[in-house]
Chains A and B, each alone.
Chain A
């Protein structure tokens, strides 16, 4: 009856569909991101490190950029929209930035000192017309030191900090500069700018459909000729679900995916896809509570735990996709230094340390740890934590887990170890972005930043460490500052201030057609050298 024609129609549609194929544009790179939406396009991006990677350092520049050209050495700061910067030796709070001449925004307007001040107002001055709550939420907390700023001449800007702070260049590297002229042209509406943004970066946003795709094309007039993109187009597609991401790669809908699930890596490699990874400033730790009564106040217990973890075994569990921690920073970091305490797997030495603290397999120490079943940067938290639980039990530390959902865990982390929400746990399993002196070292252990005022979850406060932090902020020579940072990290390791476990390696899977990608040791990446082989 009526069903017959319908069935015929469905079959016809299916048959035609099955045998048609879609043509691919030449030189187009399609990337499946883990984000669930296109990162904020107006300048200061959201979606964390991934947002900056795909919508920050592509469409925009900072005054000081990260050097993303090498895979072999830790990435460092490099001149961006500013060619040089210095502080006044008489008054270390005064910074002068010399701007690059002849740089234009994508809309054709000039990048000048006025644009710098305008952009800082966009984030810090809520009385200014261009103040944008959304960008301020992302950017203001990145530049806590800035007190004031002004135009000196069209190519010079002065920034004054609240106290002398030698980490300012690292803070500035977060700030992206959008075009004031474009904002005017878009009726002074950030919502309109979002659809038609204008930066100075190597890529221009051509079009985007919220939650579905963004298309970037090269900025052929980019000021750094070595970073003019070779591709015709780069398409960004949010694919938050790991299986959907892998299927899209396997079926040829995208050429590149971020963070393939570790258990799918052998299947992807078996199908001829490349897995690219590299160490980068990320760590996966147990952040200890140092409140009164916490067993982690005893350095013997901390050292025992650090010697009890079989990191090589853990690496095997993750299919090789981790770097074994030797400290808080990855071993290849320019700030690793030469700590005396060797973080390794040595259960016998671990038992000796624990015995000094009065515990052992016969008299186990009971501790409680907060862990999450998932979360950004947390890698595979459940199997990893169970592995560590077994390692620690073997030397006489019984870990009881308090498993909380990731967003709840963020709140507990912000609230600190003393907050009732921590449920008396003496450690929290948290992974960290550790790219610069502040996010890498200062924020975790500074006395002024004890939670909930800051992110020193464990309430650690030590005069010697405080002195080192002060020195980091007041050492203005970059090489000398690196030396202080190394000393600080040595103290982190020698005092075993965290349970150092692993560093992620930011795996990405890509089609063999993708050529020329160099994975920098950084959260951000350079896409300009990539080509697609047809």
Chain B
């Protein structure tokens, strides 16, 4: 087991390197000039060349990559071209805001998803199952930015109950878990929770239905085990797969959603990323993508390491 864990940890290194190469190169392939954000568009060719040299964009790409990677390994992701502020600090603040949103969305999406999945799986092929399945499919299929716009139109614009944008009355730096701030997070969190909820519902429903139809359940029931006792067995069997699906969805939530954060002007990683894209802010773009990609890598790592603990059938060695 220990050997497996070490090996699994070591795999992270080439994956992370691959991720860094891809995210560095991708943003350089994209069209547009990274200096657009910092220069008046009619700056002369000479001024542009001077700026290009100042930011190091005149060097060959492999050299730029080497310098960037070297700094990144020391936790320095460079400075944003558009704002001049350190990328690491910008990403840290945005990640903090996205975590708040992801955490709230998880609190809504995962428990509801698991609950609905259990209900639908238990009452498979009944009216309840169909209703829950329809709800889950709707959740997965409805474009969430559209849902966000509709929620804003109803709850902010028409009813005037909840704010439509921002992360609190004074911005995100003064975030607190109080009513005033929860009013700001409710709509984006619900919008964000809908897709993971739908996916988890469908996964759990399929698993529960499958396990309930297996012989060992009939044997348990024949043995005279109570409903709760059977349920405990079902839960133990459902947990590993659910966990890996939840892990992947958690990665999705942590990644921040460009569309949802843009619709709600939520100052998280998705919002940062969309700003970086539109301003061609390469260091900010690279830094944000790198941190988000590493989130995925580590979320998968955690799930892989946690699975043997909850399912003894999975022997890693």
Contacts and interface: CB of A to CB of B under 8 A. Distances in A.
A48 B263 contact: no
B172 A16 contact: no
A243 B35 CA distance: 28
Contacts of A211: 267, 271-272, 275
A17 B83 contact: no
Contacts of B169: 22
Interface of A: 2-3, 6-7, 10, 13-14, 16-20, 22, 36-37, 40, 46, 48, 133-134, 137-138, 140-142, 144, 190-191, 194, 209-213, 237, 239-241, 243-244, 247-248, 250-253, 405, 407-408, 410-411, 413-414, 439, 443, 452-455
A138 B164 contact: no
A3 B272 contact: no
B171 A250 contact: no
Contact of A407 (B32, B107, B111, B183): B32
> Max chain B CB contacts within 10 Å: which of A16, A141, A408?
A141
Interface string B155-184: 011001111111101111100000110110
A247 B36 CA distance: 29
> Max chain B CB contacts within 10 Å: which of A137, A248, A253, A413?
A137
A443 B42 contact: yes
Given A243-B149, A248-B164, A6 B37 contact: no
A410 B40 contact: no
Interface in B30-65: 31-33, 35-45, 47-48, 51, 54
Interface string B133-168: 000000000000000010011001100111111110
A405 B169 CA distance: 36
B186 to A, nearest CB: 6
A241 B145 CA distance: 12
B85 interface: yes
Contacts of A439: 42
Contact of B279 (A19, A36, A142): A36
- Describe A's contact surface by its main secondary structure: helix
A169 to B, nearest CB: 19
Interface in B70-90: 82-85, 90
A25 to B, nearest CB: 10
Nearest to B94: A211
A16 B186 CA distance: 12
Given A10-B107, A244-B165, A252-B160, A452 B262 contact: no
Contacts of B280: 407
Contact of A210 (B51, B90, B164, B179): B90
Given A37-B83, A141-B40, A253-B166, 8 more contacts: A13-B179, A36-B279, A140-B47, A210-B90, A241-B265, A243-B263, A244-B263, A411-B32
8 contacts: A6-B107, A18-B161, A20-B183, A134-B84, A141-B43, A413-B41, A414-B45, A439-B42
A48 to B, nearest CB: 7
B295 interface: no
A414 B49 CA distance: 13
Contacts of A2: 111
Interface of B: 31-33, 35-45, 47-48, 51, 54, 82-85, 90, 93, 107-108, 111-112, 115, 149, 152-153, 156-157, 160-167, 169-173, 179-180, 182-183, 186, 262-265, 267, 271-272, 274-275, 278-280
What 6 A-B pairs come out closest when comparing CB atoms? Answer: A407-B32, A251-B156, A209-B171, A212-B171, A247-B164, A17-B183
B36 A240 contact: no
B108 A241 contact: no
A156 to B, nearest CB: 30
A138 B38 contact: yes
Nearest to B41: A410
Nearest to B165: A248
A10 B111 CA distance: 11
> Max chain A CB contacts within 10 Å: which of B40, B54, B160, B162?
B40
A252 B36 CA distance: 34
B266 to A, nearest CB: 10
Nearest to B278: A36
B45 A453 contact: yes
Contact of A3 (B38, B43, B115, B170): B115
Contacts of B112: 3, 7
Contact of B167 (A134, A212, A414, A453): A212
Given A20-B183, A251-B152, A141 B44 contact: yes
A148 B213 CA distance: 88
B20 to A, nearest CB: 24
Contacts of B115: 3
Contact of A247 (B31, B37, B157, B183): B157
B179 A20 contact: yes
Given A247-B153, A247-B157, A407-B280, A17 B182 contact: yes
Given A212-B167, A253-B163, A407-B32, A20 B83 contact: no
A36 B275 contact: yes
B157 to A, nearest CB: 4
Contact of A141 (B39, B111, B267): B39
Nearest to A16: B179
B186 A17 contact: yes
A430 to B, nearest CB: 10
Given A211-B267, A411-B33, A137 B42 contact: no
Contacts of B179: 13, 16-17, 20
A239 B265 contact: yes
Nearest to A254: B165
A17 B168 CA distance: 13
A453 B40 CA distance: 15
A113 B5 CA distance: 68
A223 B166 CA distance: 36
Nearest to A451: B45
A407 B36 contact: yes
Nearest to A213: B171
B180 A22 contact: yes
A237 B38 contact: no
Contacts of A20: 179-180, 183
Nearest to A238: B265
Given A3-B111, A16-B179, A210-B85, A133 B54 contact: yes
Given A3-B111, A244-B264, A138 B40 contact: yes
B9 to A, nearest CB: 33
A463 B5 CA distance: 77
A134 B83 CA distance: 9
A126 B76 CA distance: 26
Contact of A240 (B107, B108, B275): B275
Contacts of B182: 13, 17
A10 B115 CA distance: 15
Contact of B39 (A137, A194, A443, A454): A137
A253 B265 CA distance: 12
> Max chain A CB contacts within 10 Å: which of B35, B112, B165, B279?
B165
A408 B31 contact: yes
A92 to B, nearest CB: 24
B172 A48 contact: no
A414 B183 CA distance: 47
B41 A210 contact: no
A241 B271 CA distance: 11
Contacts of A18: 161-162
Given A210-B83, A240-B278, A407-B33, A247 B152 contact: yes
Nearest to B159: A18
Contacts of B35: 137
Nearest to B280: A407
